[in-house]
């Protein structure tokens, strides 16, 4: 009996000491460089957002924030790296919504559970995508492209920035609604998909910041934006919903840490992140590069958004019958 009491007391003391160390560590956080990881290559909308956020956090937290691009497996690679890193606030994830709301339905075997193994800090960016074709393609509107696709045999190719991404699912949704077929070719990021369209390897892509320079240079022509409303940064470009009222595609990026990160560290990061994204500079630079717009929400609103999108994409993927082994 005495031995059991002593063991229990020892355990309580050990836990108390561990909590004390964690609390002290959180109070002084951060004391060294922070690493911000994302699962897409440089040059796209997510990379723009990551570097803007890193710069802002450096100013707020007083420590360097190093951006690391680790593309692969639809974001699963970088998600697993962060989820299995030390939960101390020094390894952060700029996570695309697809990792949380698409991949769990899409991949037959996930190396981790993003909804349980990662903790949301804050929403960051609301993205918008546009259907783009080569300026050399003889179509001027989305209706023109759909008509061309319907009479093409074999089907035209379209490029996405990866299997299971909104860039693929958004085109598949359009195919369902407008009743035509294309052949999917996945690329490693939006910029590569855009270059495939420019070079003629694909006829269409659904992209954002990664293809904006090609649109700006006149190599790509925007046919329609995927959001329900028109986008100020693309004046004169209609929404897909103007052609097909049931169509809508939205996307976001958020900041996440490994589950188990001390709450004081989460609170410090959340305050600093929200301070960055409400600044006009952050929003203006996102919009200027067609990389989206700042997306501020409460933790409760962000959690509800993740749950809603998880259910929506789960239903869509089951309907399409898409699965990655």
Q: What is the pLDDT of residue 182?
A: 97
Q: For the segment 263-289, what is each residue's pLDDT rounded down to a tens digit? A: 999 999 999 999 999 999 999 999 888
Continuous segment of H or E residues that includes residue 49: helix 45-61
Q: What is the pLDDT of residue 18?
A: 45
Same domain (yes/no): 175, 232: yes
Cα 240 → chain centroid: 21
Q: What is the pLDDT of residue 268?
A: 98
Indicate whether 256 belongs to any domain. yes
**Of 226, 242, 258, the domain-final residue:** 242
How many distinct structural domains can be found in the chain?
2
Report angle CA 73, 203, 227 to the nearest 5 degrees.
Answer: 70
More confident residue, 64 or 128: 64
Same domain (yes/no): 278, 197: no
**Of 242, 258, 287, the domain-final residue:** 242
Identify the domain containing residue 70 by its residue range.
33-128+250-320
Same domain (yes/no): 137, 113: no
Q: What is the pLDDT of residue 321?
A: 86
Same domain (yes/no): 143, 233: yes
Same domain (yes/no): 66, 202: no
Distance CA 200, CA 172 (A): 20
CATH of the domain at 231: 3.40.190.10
Cα 130 → chain centroid: 16
Same domain (yes/no): 96, 164: no
Indicate whether 325 belongs to any domain. no
Give whole-number Cα distances, 235 to 159, 238, 297, in Å. Answer: 24, 8, 27
Sign of CA dihedral 168, 170, 171, 172: positive
Same domain (yes/no): 197, 293: no
Cβ–Cβ < 8 Å for 40, 189 = yes
Indicate whether 26 belongs to any domain. no
Q: What is the pLDDT of residue 168?
A: 92
Indicate whether 3 belongs to any domain. no
More confident residue, 218 or 320: 218
Average pLDDT over all residues of the chain: 90
Contacts of 197 (CB under 8 A, 6+ apart): 132, 133, 134, 159, 203, 204, 205, 211, 220
Neighbours of 12 (CB within 10 A): 10
CATH of the domain at 56: 3.40.190.150
| pLDDT band per the 50, 70, 90 thresholds, residue 290 | confident
Same domain (yes/no): 37, 120: yes
Q: For the segment 94-136, what is each residue's pLDDT rounded down to a tens digit? A: 999 999 999 999 998 999 999 999 999 999 999 889 999 999 9
- Across the beta sheet with 65-69, what order do the strands follow? 65-69, 34-38, 91-96, 251-258, 118-127, 293-294
Same domain (yes/no): 209, 298: no
Same domain (yes/no): 137, 232: yes
**Of 210, 242, 274, the domain-final residue:** 242
Same domain (yes/no): 294, 155: no
Indicate whether 43 belongs to any domain. yes
Helices (H), 71-204: 76-83, 97-101, 103-106, 114-117, 142-151, 166-178, 190-199
Indicate whether 19 belongs to any domain. no
Indicate whether 14 belongs to any domain. no
Same domain (yes/no): 134, 220: yes
**DSSP code per residue over 197-225:** HHHTS-SEEEESTTTHHHHHTTSEEEEEE
pLDDT tops 70 at residue 22 = no
Indicate whether 209 belongs to any domain. yes
| pLDDT band per the 50, 70, 90 thresholds, residue 26 | low
């Amino acid at each position: 009996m005495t031995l059991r009491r002593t063991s229990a007391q020892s355990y309580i003391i050990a836990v108390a000491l561990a909590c004390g160390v964690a609390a002290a560590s959180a109070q002084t956080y951060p004391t060294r460089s922070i690493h911000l990881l994302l699962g897409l290559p440089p040059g796209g909308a997510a990379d723009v957002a990551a570097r803007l956020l890193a710069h802002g956090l450096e100013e707020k937290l007083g420590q360097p924030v190093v951006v690391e691009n680790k593309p692969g497996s639809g974001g699963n690679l970088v998600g697993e790296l962060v989820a299995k890193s030390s939960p101390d606030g020094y390894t952060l994830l700029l996570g695309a919504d697809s990792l949380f709301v698409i991949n769990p339905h899409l991949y037959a075997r996930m190396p981790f559970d993003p909804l349980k193994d990662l903790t949301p800090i804050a929403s960051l960016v609301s993205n918008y995508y546009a259907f783009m074709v080569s300026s050399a393609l003889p179509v001027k509107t989305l209706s023109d492209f759909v008509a061309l696709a319907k009479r093409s045999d074999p089907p035209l190719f379209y490029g996405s920035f990866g299997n299971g991404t909104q860039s693929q699912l958004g085109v598949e949704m359009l195919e369902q609604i407008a009743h035509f077929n294309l052949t999917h070719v996945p690329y490693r990021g939006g910029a590569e998909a855009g270059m495939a369209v420019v070079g003629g390897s694909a006829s269409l892509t659904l992209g954002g910041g990664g293809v904006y320079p090609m649109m700006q240079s006149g190599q790509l022509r925007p046919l329609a934006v995927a959001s329900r409303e028109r986008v100020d940064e693309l004046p004169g470009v209609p929404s897909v919903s103007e052609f097909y009222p049931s169509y809508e595609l939205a996307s976001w990026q958020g900041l996440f840490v490994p589950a188990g990160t001390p709450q004081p560290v989460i609170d410090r990061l959340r305050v600093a992140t929200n301070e960055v994204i409400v600044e006009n500079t952050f929003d203006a630079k996102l919009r200027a590069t067609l990389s989206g717009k700042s997306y501020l929400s409460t933790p409760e609103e962000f959690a509800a958004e993740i749950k809603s999108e998880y259910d929506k994409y789960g239903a869509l993927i089951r309907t399409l019958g898409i699965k990655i082994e």
